[in-house]
Amino acid sequence: MEISVNNINGLATLKIIGRLDTYAASKIAGQITQELEECGEIRQLVCDLEELDYISSSGLRIMLGLAKKYKNNFSIIEANPTVYQVFETTGFVKLMKIEKALRRLSVEECQEIGKGGVGVVYRLDDDTIIKVFREGTTMQELKNEINMAKEAFVMGMPTAISFDIVRVGNQYGLVYELLNAETLSACLKRNPERLEELAKLYAGLFRQLHSIEVPQGSSIPSVLENEIKAINHIGRYFDQESLDILMEIVKSIPKGNRLLHCDLQSKNAMLQGDELMLIDMGEVGYGHPLTDLGHSYSAMVTLLGDYASIIGLPQELAVKLWHRMIHHYFEGASEEEITHRIHQIEVVSCVRAFSWLSLSDSFPEEVIRMCQDAFKERVADRKDYIKQICSTFGDWEM
């Protein structure tokens, strides 16, 4: 009988392995209490029973005790059919949130078709794709994304809705049905002569999103608040003066209530027929379109890292796509105004260029050094220019 507790920012997972019979329950009840008390503040407790083979009435009492202590912040996941039947027979499924074990899939030999801040997308077959979330993603985070996707879909965002939650190794995955769909990057790579046509579709997708107003009371989060949290999180890598510059950029962006994707690069948009669809909703929020376009510029134009792998296109072609897209986005504007907007977008992109380090606490040292070196060139050495451009953000009306 083994137990382990993992607490990430108040989201704790209690894993129980083996047989929770009467003897084992008497031995580990106190150990569970002690480890939960020592792991820090717990806002939500998930009990993972994936490797639990049997549960006795004494084991049920342990589950009941946890449910009483943590109330609505307690849930059980990955109960195998035998264990779940015990919960069902005893009526525990009516007393607490209990989920059966998820279907398991493998992505070995599957084609990677997209990569975002929270996961990687693979094609399973001609009809279905799967988004595999990064390790450490909790079931609650997964459900938050599903709920946001449904809410954004109702608002008018062209997003596919998942029909199944699965396990891929130690990670969660969402399965979607997308018939004969391919990424915008893959389509352009095969058909570079379609650049103008695809740039119009890309611009149209941005404009469609940015025309949607997120109502008060929505579960869609504030992008501004998320950006501030991300900047504070990367304080370990940059000095306070550097963080202050990024914070000034963010706080200079006008407030807004428009729907933003925040990771809309060409490998994260799926082309189905003549319509672009979105599946990665992990960073969706509301705010000013300037932020969304800044994020896309950071990915498509000035990305740090393995460009071809992340974007799926030669950089020269992808940069052309972005610039043609932004001209179509501002259709009807003068070349002078579009150039001015691009300067604003480029400055905002400086935040995303480094705040993505907040997505993990285990990036290799060479990646961190690469970002620190780039920060001096892109931000610190242009501090006065950045401040001057920030002072113009107010002229961008939605």
Residues 38-84: tens digit of each pLDDT: 999 999 999 999 999 999 999 999 999 999 999 999 999 999 989 99
CA distance 15 to 2: 8
What average pLDDT is seen over the chain? 92
Give 177-213 pLDDT, tens digit per residue: 876 788 999 999 999 999 999 999 999 999 999 999 9
**CA angle 160-165-171, nearest 5°?**
115
This prediction has a pTM of 0.77
CATH number of 2-101: 3.30.750.24
Contacts of residue 329, Cβ cutoff 8 Å, sequence gap at least 6: 203, 206, 207, 293
| pLDDT reading at 398 higher than 80 | no
Q: What is the mean pLDDT of residues 318-345?
A: 98
Q: In the structure, how many helices (H) and strands (E) does the chain have?
A: 14, 17
Q: What is the model's pLDDT at position 150?
A: 87
- Give the confidence band of 13 by pLDDT, cuts at 50, 70, 90: very high
**CA angle 273-143-123, nearest 5°?**
35
Contacts of residue 86, Cβ cutoff 8 Å, sequence gap at least 6: 55, 60, 92
CA distance 365 to 348: 25
- Strands, DSSP E only, in the chain? 2-8, 11-20, 44-48, 52-55, 74-79, 97-100, 103-104, 111-115, 119-123, 128-133, 164-168, 171-177, 182-183, 258-260, 269-272, 275-278, 285-287
Which residue type does 194 have?
A: R
CATH number of 182-395: 3.90.1200.10
Per CATH, which fold does 111-177 belong to?
Phosphorylase Kinase; domain 1 (3.30.200)
Which residues make up the CATH 3.30.200.20 domain(s) of the chain? 111-177
| pLDDT reading at 106 higher than 70 | yes
Which residues make up the CATH 3.30.750.24 domain(s) of the chain? 2-101
Which residues make up the CATH 3.90.1200.10 domain(s) of the chain? 182-395
| Spatial CA neighbour of 132 closest among 124, 142, 121 | 121
